[in-house]
Structure 1
Amino acid sequence: MTRRDEIECWLTDMDGVLVHENQALPGASDLIQQWRDQGTPFLVLTNNSIFTPRDLAARLRTSGLDVPEESIWTSALATADFLKSQMPGGTAYVIGEAGLTTALHEAGFIMTDTNPDYVVVGETRSYSFDAITKAIRLIGKGARFISTNPDATGPSAEGPLPATGAVTAMITKATGRDPYVVGKPNPMMFRSAMNRIGAHSENTAMIGDRMDTDVVAGIEAGLHTILVLTGISDRSEIERYPFRPDEVLRGVDELVVREPIETEL
């Protein structure tokens, strides 16, 4: 097990770790600034594929966090990175928002609904019956089925919303085909993030608030795992799982290095 003082690179989840309901959590701003001041490689990860890194950087700034867009890694970027490695210059029919379509365009993919290599489903707030029907028919004709993330629901002020996993479940039921899911808890998302910053699993840590995504994927990727209790999982939930994080902290404020206060003798 890697000791915390041996960590040279950091991956961290966003919601429930750095922010909650668009408000920065205690210590989050200081931790980001600490990493930037020290030149520590880091990435903020999110399974949300709706927004581009530029969008998310702007949203984080309104929450009081100064995170450069190049330090944000989304499931859309991870999906585009994976598909580029599999079929450079391929084609895709996409159900999703700008975060996903932009990532695929920048990876060299062509968006089409005519015999695409892939059907890619990501987060969107405007799923349409026609688009889902088209996806089902294209998969039936041989298009490979990809999903950015498995999350069945997402949060809103009014309550849970159906998310990517709920829509892909409907497509799976109609086609008999399961998607390949790139985002957490697939450790591939962590590996692609580490490649982005030139990190190695032996000296990289993952901070998350969920045992079933952040921690398990971090363990499978060989990372030092830190669970914070400011989001989904609490101490009682840890007991439900056969695996354990390397550390359990109250929040990211415990990772901020405080300068000692000098006192006069």
Structure 2
Amino acid sequence: MKKYAGYMIDLDGTIYRGKEKIPAAKRFIERLQEHDIPFLFVTNNSTQAPIKVVENLANNFDIHVKEENVYTSALATADYIADLNKDKRSVYVIGEVGLKQAILDKGFRFEETNPDYVVVGLDYDVTYHKFELATLAIKRGAKFIGTNADTNLPNERGLVPGAGSVIALVECSTQQKATYIGKPETIIMEKALERLGLPKDEVVMVGDNYMTDIKAGINFGIDTMLVYTGVSTRELVRKQEIAPTIELGSLDEWKVG
């Protein structure tokens, strides 16, 4: 059993299922903490700031971590555009407060007419006017960034539109493809690894969804650990060309340290 120096870990389906606790996940995180092994929750959710993720884990799942343990697609997006060009600092954003705050924290200013970047993520109050501004700005030459390609999100009502659905409308209206940041793309993985400060061969990506979590690890060239507590089934995984490095029925099966 390989010993990893650091872990990237998905949230929904891996650490909890919606509002349902996964007891083995709490024990897994506590084992990492006991052995002082660095970990990051790497999530495609761009709507919430890390503090909200921390509060949700503590209040609803009795899992106690710090803000620095959380890395969202919003943070990855902000890190990505901050590294592109130090002279380009204006952005138009379609998204929630988590995304907007991450971008503001990197020293960007918001601009509706001639921004350097248009960033689109999940926005619960999106309007035609917001789409109009984004489309016109991209047509004028702004670089088009999408937080993540998830077309749907599961909630208690069923599968509702995700960030990918919002981004797709702007792709249609501009005839341009967004640069995507979140899983299964490698950008979020690159930025998360920088946060961990570890070599790629010492880190594993842990998740329940082969098509996002595991593909992100495979695309990035790191080991992957699929736990069958969420989206993907053994039948689905058997059909894939590349198998996860490790497959688990429960995180209780994995020893750390």
For the superposition of Structure 1 and Structure 2, which TM-score range results when normalised by the shorter chain?
A: over 0.9
Residue 76, structure 1, aligned to residue 82, structure 2: no
- Mean CA deviation greater in 212-221 or 97-106: 212-221
1:12 corresponding residue in structure 2: 9
TM-superposed CA distance for 1:134, in Å, is 1.1
Residues 46-83 of structure 1, C-alpha deviations (whole Å, 9 max, x = no match) = 10000000011001112221121110000000000000
Identify the match of residue 31 of structure 2 among 31, 34, 37: 34
SS for the counterpart of 2:30 is helix
Residues 152-204 of structure 1, C-alpha deviations (whole Å, 9 max, x = no match) = 11111111111111111111111110100011011221121111021111110
Q: Distance in 1 between matches of 2:38 and 2:225?
A: 17
CA distance 1:192–1:257, change in 2 (3 Å):
closer
TM-superposed CA distance for 1:251, in Å, is 2.0
2:56 corresponding residue in structure 1: 59
Structure 1 counterpart of 2:152, one-letter code:
T
Q: Distance in 1 between matches of 2:248 and 2:91?
A: 42
Aligned-pair identity in percent equals 35
Residues 177-236 of structure 1, C-alpha deviations (whole Å, 9 max, x = no match) = 010001101122112111102111111011011111111110122211111100100100
Query: 1:116-265, aligned counterparts within 5 Å?
Result: 116-256=115-255
Structure 2 counterpart of 1:12, one-letter code:
I
Structure 2 counterpart of 1:132, one-letter code:
F
- Whether the 8 Å contact between 1:119 and 1:146 is mirrored in structure 2 is yes
TM-score norm. by structure 1 comes to 0.93
1:98 corresponding residue in structure 2: 97
Structure 1 counterpart of 2:93, one-letter code:
V
TM-superposed CA distance for 1:256, in Å, is 4.8
Q: Distance in 1 between matches of 2:138 and 2:239?
A: 37
TM-superposed CA distance for 1:39, in Å, is 1.2
SS for the counterpart of 1:40 is coil
TM-superposed CA distance for 1:40, in Å, is 0.6
Q: Distance in 1 between matches of 2:25 and 2:208?
A: 14
- Mean CA deviation greater in 92-101 or 213-222: 213-222
TM-superposed CA distance for 1:150, in Å, is 0.3
Q: Distance in 1 between matches of 2:241 and 2:22?
A: 29
- Whether the 8 Å contact between 1:208 and 1:215 is mirrored in structure 2 is yes
Q: Give runs of ≥4 in structure 1 deviating > 4 Å.
A: none
TM-superposed CA distance for 1:17, in Å, is 0.4
- Whether the 8 Å contact between 2:121 and 2:166 is mirrored in structure 1 is no
- Whether the 8 Å contact between 2:184 and 2:219 is mirrored in structure 1 is no
The unaligned stretches of length 5 or more in structure 2 are none
SS for the counterpart of 2:145 is strand
Q: Distance in 2 between matches of 1:68 and 1:32?
A: 12
Structure 2 counterpart of 1:20, one-letter code:
R
Structure 1 counterpart of 2:63, one-letter code:
L
Structure 2 counterpart of 1:144, one-letter code:
K
Size of the aligned set, in residue pairs, is 255
Structure 2 counterpart of 1:23, one-letter code:
E
TM-superposed CA distance for 1:95, in Å, is 0.4
TM-superposed CA distance for 1:137, in Å, is 1.1
- Whether the 8 Å contact between 1:22 and 1:60 is mirrored in structure 2 is no
- Whether the 8 Å contact between 2:113 and 2:133 is mirrored in structure 1 is no
TM-score norm. by structure 2 comes to 0.95
Structure 1 or 2, whichever has the larger Rg, is 1
